[in-house]
Structure 1
Amino acid sequence: MHVLIVEDNPDIIANLYGYLEPLGYTLDVARNGNAGVACATGFCHDAIVLDLSLPGMDGLEVCRTLRQEYRLATPILMLTARDTVHDKLTGFEVGADDYLVKPYSLPELDARLKALVRRSRNEHVHSVLIFGDLRLDAGTGQVTRGGQPLELTPTGYKILAALMRAAPTLMTRQAAEREVWGDSPPDSDALRTHIHTLRQVLDKPFPQPMLLTLPGTGYRLVVPGEA
């Protein structure tokens, strides 16, 4: 599981790394609100652990920005020392999915993160993803562009669904590999082959491409004419 931690307290960061990494988590850290927004929107994560009290942009504003400005659907677990009903309601109103009050139990944090990700992935199973004239119905598995059905390989389907969830932000090569192979990607350059195959179906029959490669970085979808 790939999790972004937005937290400025080095002791808490160290505790989270010490507990979660041995459980198989891959962790990124942002130490202030602005860095949290940049990291959350620049890379794909399964969940975000967001401290409420941050230097500069606080956690509420980070959450509000991610939900309202970037339409980011990544589950957000908010951490705070504030334990009033008003504070919790405010967190939920700006888009937090769950709430833990400090001091909290690390096993409970682990359990809540896993539950959030399970719910998020289950919602994706029944959702319809739309980006530009591209439509992916995760319930039926049907993908169309401009109303024209696209015949994707199972791996191409996984990659495209991840790209659509991230769109229009960048999906790194590492994130794309995790979507296909989990935490055990192959040593070969298999991803490039799958991207090539996906592009033949997604872009080749159409006047303008939607799948862009940022050399050495990753991939992202664009709406033709808006890139």
Structure 2
Amino acid sequence: MRQTTGIVLIVEDNRSLAETLGNYLESQGFDVDYAADGLEGYRLAAENHYDAIVLDGNLPRLDGLEVCRRLRGEARNSTPVIMLTARDTLDDKLAGLDNGADDYLTKPFAAQELDARLRAVMRRNRKELGQQVLTVGDLVFDPASHRVTRAGQELMVSPIGTKLLHILMRESPRVVTRREIEGEIWGTSLPDSDTLRSHLYNLRKVIDKGFDTPLLHTVQSAGYRMADLARPVQKAAAAQPAASADPVAA
């Protein structure tokens, strides 16, 4: 099974460029999704999990700056964004950064440079997320100390269970696929098919047994999620959909 480097959304209206970037990133282990205009890009980014977004500055229906501004504002989305644009003035770069972009790449550029910058913003984002105390319902996990409590009661979680808990709480309330979990914990040295199921079973016993509200949920044929379903999950407002397109220089 291929280990995924990360999931990237490319928002680019130049189909040839989008395909070139997508093919290269897939060859480097990324999973790639596409949007051909700003509204579709915003909708996909607001409704799905991505490790990074490659966002063209000049897009139909909604320009890249506005997409970025809305993601950071109304959608409260902190996914790393790399802006792509032919505009290379300092004012243009500052405008992109001021609207929430994490990095700025001027066309034309080498696909290898985009790959390197994607990995850099993803590493930085994962490091920041890894240091945050995570909370789902009354379950609290401190990654720094590996301390897990629920309703103030300290819980004893195994080392693999702690890794599982970190992934699921970090991504909550998103459904995390089996492939994503196995890739992050074991990499290419995958265990047998029952290992993950056994660890999840043990983790569920620790964090849910004896409590009124279950937090660890199996989503049939999709994966697993950590969520307090007794409380409504707020979803970002979606823009109107548009036809997707596939995405080094335009």
Taking structure 2 as the reference length, what is the TM-score of the superposition? 0.77
The answer to whether residue 231 in structure 2 is matched with residue 226 in structure 1 is yes
- Alpha carbon RMSD of aligned pairs, Å? 2.5
After TM superposition, the structure 1 = structure 2 runs for residues 141-160 of structure 1, keeping only pairs within 5 Å, are: 141-160=146-165
Higher helix share: 1
Displacement of 1:97 = 0.9
Letter in 1 for 2:115: D
Worse-matched range after superposition: 29-38 or 119-128 = 29-38
CA distance in 1, matches of 2:187, 2:73: 29
- Taking only the aligned residue pairs, the percentage that are identical comes to 50
2:53 match: 48
2:15 to 10, 16, 30: 10
Q: Which structure 2 residue ranges, 5 or more long, are not aligned?
A: 233-250
- The one of 132, 138, 145 equivalent to 1:133 is 138
* Larger CA Rg, structure 1 vs 2: 2
The TM-score, its normalising length taken from structure 1, stands at: 0.84
Identify if the C-alpha distance between structure 1 residues 54 and 163 changes in structure 2 by more than 3 Å, giving closer, same or farther. Answer: farther
Q: CA deviation at 1:184?
A: 6.2
**1:56-98 Cα shifts (integer Å, max 9, x gaps):** 2332233233333343332221112222333322322232111
Identify which of 95, 118, 129 aligns with 1:124: 129
Moved more, 66-75 or 11-20: 66-75
Question: What CA distance in whole angstroms lies between the structure 2 residues aligned with 1:47 and 1:183?
Answer: 22
How many equivalent pairs are there? 227
Taking a change above 3 Å as real, the CA distance of residues 6 and 180 of structure 1, as seen in their structure-2 partners, is farther
Which runs of 5 or more residues in structure 1 are unaligned?
A: none
Q: For residues 218 and 137 of structure 1, what CA distance do their matches in structure 2 show? A: 24
Tell me the distance in 2 between the aligned counterparts of 1:32 and 1:219.
31
- Give the corresponding residue for 2:78: 73
